[in-house]
Chains A and B, each alone.
Chain A
Amino acid sequence: MRPLSRTIRNKLFYISVLIFIIGAPLLILYSLGYRFEEGFSFRETGGIFIRSNESTTTVFLEGEMVKKTGTLFRNTFIQNLSAYESYEVWVEKEGYHSWHKILPVGPHIVTESATLLLPKRIECTPLLKEKNGVEKADALGYKEKEEEHTLSLNEEEESVLFLPSLSLQKMLEEFEKNTPPLPLKENVSEEKIKEEDMAEKEDLFYASLLFSSEAKKYSLENKIFEDASFIKEKNNFLTYIKEGNLFYVWMKKDTTPLWFMCLPPQKKNEEGVCRKKGVIDWDNDILYYDFYPQRNDVFIVGIKNALYAVEMDDRSERNIQPLFEGEEEISFRLFDEGIVVKDKKDSLCLLNISF
């Protein structure tokens, strides 16, 4: 038996070359988003990528289910969507608020989005002080009797969380500060801020130490310090409350803002547009806010007696989901343990939500 003949090998070679010459450009065009249509023409398409904060969700596009996500692979990539059109996306999970968005699709571009799926019912576990290792303990700041607590405690479950008194004390001290802790630059320690009582100093000095040069420049040019409150620089955003509305400005110089601040081209020969600012303006005054843990596109927004998770993405109506709704005035802070809510009577509770 002889080795493979030269004729067969040549045939194999030329067939492979032919497949490559035809296949490579087609494969590249496909990967770019071109789709072959009848009449030997190509249609330009784009895609939508949905990053999910929850597993095992059901994703709908234009009312039709497109995917059920798993435990490990939470995200969804939908392609073959015609460019210059908008698509309605709906994500559901049992026991959770659903997430809804209308997203524009551009040619060869993937429109990114991130779901905000929070449980419909979020318990707030009272934080109580550990006392001599005995399970019965008094809450720091609580009166002696539980019925005097103003935070709602589910009496059927009666779950409480015991913390060392020192931890509780620190939490309360954080609440006593007028503003939530500001992000500190690497070379300025918290101790130094306290020592020099910098919070009392002039805005200029304050900003120069705490903010990036971009944020400082923007703050001074726009006189943010004059009439805004809760000014922060975090996740590359300068954020502040002004006249009860929450403003956010992208601060990272020479970079494209985050995905939700950009829109793909809406017509042929148009360019995509990116904005650098946004505002959450409600009828109710926003009193305080912070970024939702591990998210740079969602705020926790506080009004007088309630907390909401609010997405910054305003490409279509924002998804707003309640975190805590009470009857009296409350405030919140972020700790390692999670989101801690405090009422007027210094009672603390921890929102039962994982990040």
Chain B
Amino acid sequence: MEKEDSYIQIGSSSEIAHKKDRRIYRILEIIPAFLSWGTIILVVLLSIFNPLLAAFLIIAFDLYWLLKTFNLAIHQYHNWKRMKHNMNVDWSAMLAPLHYENIYHMVLLPYYKEKEEIVRGALDALSLTHYNSQKIIVVLAVEERAGKEALLISEKMKKEYGEKFGHFIAVIHPDGIKGEIQGKGPNIAYAGKCATKEIVEKNALPLENVIVSAFDIDTVPGKQYFECLTWNFLTTENRHNASFQPVPLYNNNMWDAPSFSRVAAFSSTSWQMIQQERVEKLTTFSSHALSLKSLLQVDFWQKNVVSDDSRIFWNLYFANDGKYRVIPIGYPVSMDANHASSSLKTFINIYKQHLRWMWGAENVPYMLYGFLKNKKIPKKEKLFHTFVYIESFWSAATAPLVIFLLGWLPILLGGDEFRSTVISYNLPYITSNLMLIAMSGLILLSIIYFSFIPPLPEHKKKRKYFHYTIGALQWLLVPIAIVIFGAIPALHAQTNLALGRRMGFWVTPKHRNKKDGVKEKSA
């Protein structure tokens, strides 16, 4: 079949007009849940009918996981060193020999009902960056449905900050545009288009010289972020066939968020740090950047999907017949860890946020369908991405459950005969010892964590030993956190996808204690 561009904007099977293709896409939507549930059911059935085989598989899986953890820890360690290095590099000096004077940065700041202080925090942080502010185009993207207050904030911010940047535009995204979901994707796509028309075209800025950074409203870039990004952009071959990914550090409000929120947040950061070292497996996530020229190739972000941040990679990957990649810039942007007015609300918000992230499984059928449609991508590459992407969602949903919960099933369900075997007695010892060794990686995690968190706020310094002790001990929550905020939302999202229950975009509420302001980043 000839390559058709139409598949590039597909959001779900229901949007496909052709019956056969719709069925194929529908089947592909079931694959992630089929594999995850299949694994869980297989472990349960084997534990009942062949507990010995189940025990073999569990021991082998635990060893595999230990080796994987060790491997990933080396990746994370290297990324940590790289980030520390990059944060201390004088990027202006690095840029000096390059012709970067005509490089513009368009920064998209979407917001919904966030309070003024959050929006102000993002703009303050932007104004503190070292890049020539006249080359920064700030696009404040507000949702019309957020109401008057949100619109007033955008007006106020425009007045206050308009002069601080080369260009400043507040774009109101109209509510109820046909074919759009309510979420970040349609908002930044609309804002990007408006800014292109109103600023880029009117000022005749070359499209290939504009780098677009899609931020969240709580994203605080390091002071040299734009220099670092520009250097990476200019030194990358085929730069318009690449997205640029910073490391999201959820540490803006680290000292105020409860321990389980910090653990969940830093686990996400850790994963992104690891992915930064596995270039061929990296896709865009959360705050990311790419050239305006690339964006125009696919008409900006997709407006009918929740996971617009990762989908943009696949859009461009297929639009360029597989010749598209993500460049890990190894430089941080700081964001908020989940923190609501109560621990329970925080807990629920973390779950919802992770559910939204895990809904990224919607990219699995999209990717597989794209592979079926696009014949120009080499088969080897298709196989590689298929394995890597499916494995990541499969292991997110199953590995924590197999390791921490299902590993005990052969003993519980295996019957008296199995219970009297040496392996049944050894199974808990071996699995817990392997996991204990794997958990030693938490020491590294803790060291990296402490190296990135901002200084303890003044009002907390009276009990600094308490806060530091909690900060060190909180990592013991990791096994619980990866089950509750990893495996369960992953299964939840994959099940919804398989059942055809579409998810809406849930906006993570931003809450900051009054004593917090915008933190000065160490970079």
Contact = CB atoms under 8 A, between A and B. Distances in A.
A256 interface: yes
Contacts of B86: 1
Interface of A: 1-4, 9, 12-13, 16, 19-20, 23-24, 27-28, 30-33, 45-47, 49, 77, 79, 108-110, 112, 255-256, 259
Nearest to B84: A1
A24 B430 CA distance: 12
B423 A32 contact: yes
26 contacts: A3-B277, A4-B277, A9-B278, A12-B74, A16-B71, A20-B64, A23-B63, A27-B59, A27-B63, A27-B430, A28-B60, A30-B426, A31-B59, A32-B421, A32-B426, A33-B422, A33-B426, A46-B422, A47-B425, A77-B425, A79-B425, A109-B421, A110-B424, A110-B425, A255-B416, A256-B417
Chain B, interface SS category? helix
Nearest to A77: B425
Contact of B70 (A9, A16, A45): A16
Interface string B154-178: 0000000000000000000000000
B328 interface: yes
Nearest to A272: B420
B422 A16 contact: no
B133 to A, nearest CB: 28
A77 B85 CA distance: 51
B376 interface: no
Contacts, number: 88
Nearest to A255: B416
Contacts of B67: 16, 19-20
Contacts of A79: 422, 425-426
A109 B277 contact: no
Interface string B314-354: 00000000000000101000000000000000000000000
Nearest to B86: A1
Contacts of B82: 1-3
A1 B231 CA distance: 13
Contact of A108 (B64, B70, B276, B423): B423
Given A4-B75, A4-B78, A9-B278, A16 B68 contact: yes
Given A79-B422, A108-B422, A110-B422, A31 B328 contact: no
A36 to B, nearest CB: 15
Interface string B281-292: 000000000000
Interface string B415-452: 01100111111110010000000000000000000000
Contact of B63 (A12, A24, A49, A256): A24
A23 B437 CA distance: 15
Contacts of A259: 420
Given A16-B67, A108-B422, A109-B422, A31 B430 contact: yes
A112 B417 CA distance: 12
A83 to B, nearest CB: 10
**A interface SS class:** mixed
Closest 10 CB pairs of A and B: A33-B422, A31-B426, A4-B277, A16-B67, A1-B85, A24-B60, A1-B82, A4-B78, A31-B423, A3-B277
B200 interface: no
A198 B86 CA distance: 90
Contacts of B71: 12-13, 16
A12 B70 CA distance: 10
Given A9-B278, A16-B71, A47 B328 contact: no
Contacts of B85: 1
Contacts of A2: 82
Nearest to B431: A31
B426 A20 contact: no
Given A9-B278, A13-B71, A110 B64 contact: no
A47 B422 CA distance: 7
B420 A24 contact: no
B279 interface: yes
B433 to A, nearest CB: 10
Contacts of B278: 4, 9
A240 B88 CA distance: 85
Given A2-B82, A109-B420, A110-B425, 7 more contacts: A3-B279, A3-B330, A20-B60, A27-B59, A27-B60, A28-B56, A109-B421
Contacts of B56: 28
B212 interface: no
B55 interface: yes
B81 interface: yes
A256 B417 CA distance: 8
B70 A31 contact: no
B425 A49 contact: yes
A28 B330 contact: no
Interface in B72-115: 74-75, 78-79, 81-82, 85-86
Interface string B351-372: 0000000000000000000000
B418 to A, nearest CB: 11
A77 B420 CA distance: 12
A44 B351 CA distance: 49
A24 B66 CA distance: 11
Interface string B382-426: 000000000000000000000000000000000011001111111
